[in-house]
Amino acid sequence: MSLYRTELRRLVKRRFTRYMTLLGLLVLAAVVVGIFFSNQKIDAAAHARAERQAEQQYQDQVRYSEQERASCERDKAAGVNADRYPPDCEMITAPPREAFEAKWFLPSTFNFREAFPETLIPFAAILALVGFVVGASFVGAEWNTGGMMNLLLWRPKRLTVLLSKLAALLTGVVAVTVTSGLLWFGGFWLVATFRGSTEKMTAGAWQSFALTGLRGLALVVVISAIGFALASLGRHTAMALGGVVAVMVVGQFGLGILLDMAGVKFAEAWLLPTYALAWMTKKVTLENWDACNATFTGECKPETLDVTWQQSSVLLSVGVVVIVGAALWAMRRRDIS
């Protein structure tokens, strides 16, 4: 029997794999349901209500301004509270009617073209977490229970065994991610249909969504492979889980606090989540408000730094190559005991 098919069957039949995948899918479903009920379709009646609310707020401001102007004139005549009001009471006026826009009073609605790309970020993050934990457990449990040693008695080619396990894991991850992605798209298309809008969907928009989805798939695959490799290096699931906790808590939060205390500009450029976000959104612009670039109008513009998806791709590539390569090297060199 093919070792790859055996490992794929073993992955699918593991209860931990099923439970974690189900948990991830339930979280994704909860997100879709929550967004469905927190949005509504905007029709002519909703626009009319928003116009009435805008007019009502404008009238409230007019009445308030008139009351304040009358109080100003009364207090100035009495010679009290002079510092509370401007020099001329006629300066107290309501903002113009144009300042009260009806769109401020419209209920939340789901515009598919504008909002769907943002939903791909939590989608990729949740599945990446599931892939990391499942990948770490898949190989970590083999080392912890002695199953790896027994398997190597049957197939003594160490690298072939480890790569077969990794290939089975990534196949499962891709299958779950692609299937979930199609359901995710369908769910939000229904949300937009019944609770928002699906207008202005051009060929360029579809292409952009597809590319973002592919980047999300790549991120899930890379994170899953890293979890697998870390657990293989430590020969225990806890190695991967402990490693990621150490990196995120000590390396990221601690480093972020240290950089902030040191006054390092663009401190976020040293943190991994920035590059993950840049990978998904194509670019993240960091701002340094301690530096002021004055314009010809006198406006202060902060110094900026762009983190692009190309930079993120280099970091992800180097990370997966180094960590997976180290796991393969350790599998080849270390004693199996």
pLDDT in tens, 8-52: 998 999 898 999 999 999 999 999 999 999 998 888 888 888 889
Residues 6+ positions from 64 with CB-CB distance below 8 Å: 94
pLDDT of residue 295: 54
The rounded distance, in Å, linking the Cα atoms of 291 and 269 is 17
Backbone angles phi, psi at 82, to 5 degrees: -65, -35
pLDDT of residue 221: 96
Q: Where are the domains of the chain?
A: 3-41+109-333, 44-105
pLDDT of residue 148: 63
Chain-centre distance of CA 36, in angstroms? Answer: 19
> What radius of gyration do the chain's Cα atoms show?
29
**β-bridge partners, 301:** 293
pLDDT of residue 1: 54
Contact 188, 110 (CB under 8 A): yes
Burial 145-172 (b: 16+ CB within 10 A, else e): eeebeebeeeeeebeebbbbbbebbbeb
Beta carbons within 10 angstroms of residue 66's beta carbon: 13
The rounded distance, in Å, linking the Cα atoms of 237 and 232 is 8
> Position of tokens 């005549």?
77
**β-bridge partners, 302:** 292
Residues 6+ positions from 52 with CB-CB distance below 8 Å: none
Beta carbons within 10 angstroms of residue 276's beta carbon: 21
Q: Quote the DSSP letter at residue 298.
A: S
> Position of tokens 């490799």?
229
Per-residue pLDDT of the chain (337 residues; tens, 9 = 90+): 588 888 899 899 989 899 999 999 999 999 999 999 999 888 888 888 888 998 898 888 889 888 888 888 887 777 777 677 787 888 888 888 888 888 888 888 899 999 999 999 999 999 999 999 898 888 877 766 666 666 665 666 778 888 889 999 999 999 999 999 999 999 999 999 999 889 888 999 999 999 999 999 999 999 999 999 988 887 766 666 666 665 666 666 666 677 677 777 777 888 888 999 999 999 998 887 776 665 555 667 777 889 999 999 999 999 999 999 998 888 877 655 4
Cα–Cα separations (whole angstroms), residue 252 to 149, 257, 258, 270: 36, 9, 10, 8
**H or E stretch covering 290:** strand 283-294
Strand extents, DSSP E, 36-164: 110-111
| CA dihedral of 239, 159, 147, 223, whole degrees rounded to 10 | 40
pLDDT of residue 242: 65
pLDDT of residue 106: 82
Instruction: State pLDDT tens for residues 146-192.
Output: 666 666 656 667 788 888 899 999 999 999 999 999 999 999 999 99
